[in-house]
């Protein structure tokens, strides 16, 4: 099967990709390896040709899952992974030094069972290492044939420009959905200006705009339990916004997840959402967004629901926010 495509630098990818974090990491008990393999192969069967993973996800388990499940279909997809964030001796680390990047990349290649990753991101900015040094490590990896293109994740417009001056950046990954609008401060336009793809992770708001969150009762190891807008007293307020959002989806005949993905796709031809899921039915629903027509009225109504200041709570805890370089919204600065 085929899906409409968009460009991520030299790569022609399905307009909706697949984020692979959910398969091993972050949202409670992940699916079994067998179910994860079935989902990955189903994604390729449906024409999803952009798989995104990272060394951090499941302490390398996500990369190993891809390596053992779909690398025999390597010609069917563009492969992206990330460094800087990693697990070392069981502990999460943030290290943008060239030595750490080289070490993480070599481990990723081994776990994936390949000698080449199409798109390799700096997962976060290490404020202790000049961005130019971290990008330089990726340039050397490209020259060695280990990666094909360079990416950045959760970085500001200023950092993007610094990195782009060292070597052209192919993609910038950032959280982007109707209720996370930080890229609109500067990153969205900067990417458009420089010819960089914006790869939108969590485009259905970590399940919030897909009907997956109705209470604050989260499973063990679910990272949403530590995110202010997902817990009380903020959650009840935000669920009222979700009710209004869901009503729009019902009126136009699509699911909430499809409305959220359609909204993200509408933000520019250089935007590629990568929703994650461990459920094949949800995967099929997400990719079917390409068959849904969302009119200008519905998009405007979504904007009105999530107008500046409408959402209660920040998207990250203070500790997590300290690792994010992307610009804050005016209401986040005020608090």
Indicate the burial class of 78 (C-beta count within 10 angstroms; 0-12, 13-18, 19 or more).
buried
pLDDT at 300: 98
Closest by alpha carbon to 52, among 81, 95, 23, 11? Answer: 81
User: Quick count: other Cβ atoms within 10 Å of Cβ 93?
Assistant: 14
- At 79-101, the pLDDT tens digits run 999 999 999 988 999 999 999 99
pLDDT at 333: 85
Catalytic residue among 27, 57, 120, 316: 57
Helix residue spans in the chain (DSSP H): 33-45, 61-69, 98-112, 131-143, 157-166, 187-194, 234-252, 256-265, 280-287, 296-305, 318-321, 330-334
User: Quick count: other Cβ atoms within 10 Å of Cβ 143?
Assistant: 9
What's the CA gap between 324 and 3, in Å, rounded?
32
From the candidate CATH numbers 1.10.240.10, 1.10.3720.10, 3.40.50.1980, 3.20.20.100, the one assigned to the domain spanning 5-207+265-294: 3.20.20.100
pLDDT at 12: 98
- At 88-146, the pLDDT tens digits run 988 999 999 999 999 999 999 999 999 999 999 999 999 999 999 999 999 999 999 99
pLDDT at 335: 59
Does an H or E element contain 173, and which? strand 171-175
What's the CA gap between 319 and 311, in Å, rounded?
20
What's the CA gap between 95 and 232, in Å, rounded?
33
pLDDT at 25: 84
Q: pLDDT means per 10 residues in the chain (335 residues)?
A: 94 98 91 97 98 96 98 98 94 96 98 98 98 98 98 98 98 98 98 98 98 94 95 98 98 98 98 97 98 97 97 94 95 78
pLDDT at 205: 98
Q: Catalytic site residue 120? A: no
- Rounded to two decimals, the pTM is 0.97
Is the Cβ–Cβ distance between 120 and 83 less than 8 Å?
Answer: yes
Indicate the burial class of 140 (C-beta count within 10 angstroms; 0-12, 13-18, 19 or more).
middle
What's the CA gap between 246 and 301, in Å, rounded?
11
């Amino acid at each position: 099967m085929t899906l409409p495509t968009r460009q991520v630098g030299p790569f022609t990818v399905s307009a909706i990709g697949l984020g692979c974090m959910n398969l091993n990491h972050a949202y409670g008990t992940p699916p079994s390896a067998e179910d994860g393999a079935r989902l990955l192969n189903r994604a390729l069967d449906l024409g999803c040709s952009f798989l995104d993973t990272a060394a951090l996800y499941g302490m390398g388990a996500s990369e190993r899952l891809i390596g053992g499940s779909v690398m025999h279909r390597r010609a069917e997809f563009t492969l992206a992974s990330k460094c800087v964030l990693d697990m070392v001796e069981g502990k999460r680390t943030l290290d943008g030094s060239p030595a750490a990047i080289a070490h993480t990349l070599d481990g990723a290649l081994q776990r994936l069972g390949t000698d080449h990753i199409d798109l390799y991101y700096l997962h976060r900015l290490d404020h202790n290492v000049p961005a130019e040094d971290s990008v330089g490590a990726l340039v050397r990896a490209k020259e060695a044939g280990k990666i094909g293109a360079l990416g950045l994740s959760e970085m500001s417009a200023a950092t993007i420009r610094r990195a782009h001056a060292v070597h052209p950046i192919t993609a910038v990954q950032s959280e982007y959905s109707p209720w996370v609008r930080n890229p609109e401060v500067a990153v969205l336009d900067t990417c458009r200006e420089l010819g960089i793809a914006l790869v939108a992770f969590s485009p259905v708001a970590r399940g919030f705009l897909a009907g997956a969150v109705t209470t604050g009762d989260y499973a063990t190891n679910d990272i949403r339990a530590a995110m202010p807008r997902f817990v009380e007293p903020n959650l009840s307020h935000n669920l009222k916004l979700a009710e209004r959002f869901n009503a729009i989806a019902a009126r136009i005949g699509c699911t909430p997840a499809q409305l959220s993905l359609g909204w993200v796709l509408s933000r520019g031809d250089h935007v590629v959402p990568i929703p994650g899921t461990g459920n094949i039915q949800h995967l099929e629903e997400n990719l079917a967004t390409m068959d849904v027509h969302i009119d200008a009225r519905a998009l405007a109504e979504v904007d009105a629901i999530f107008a500046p200041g409408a959402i209660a709570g920040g998207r990250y805890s203070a500790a997590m926010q300290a690792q994010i370089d992307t610009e804050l919204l005016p209401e986040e600065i005020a608090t």
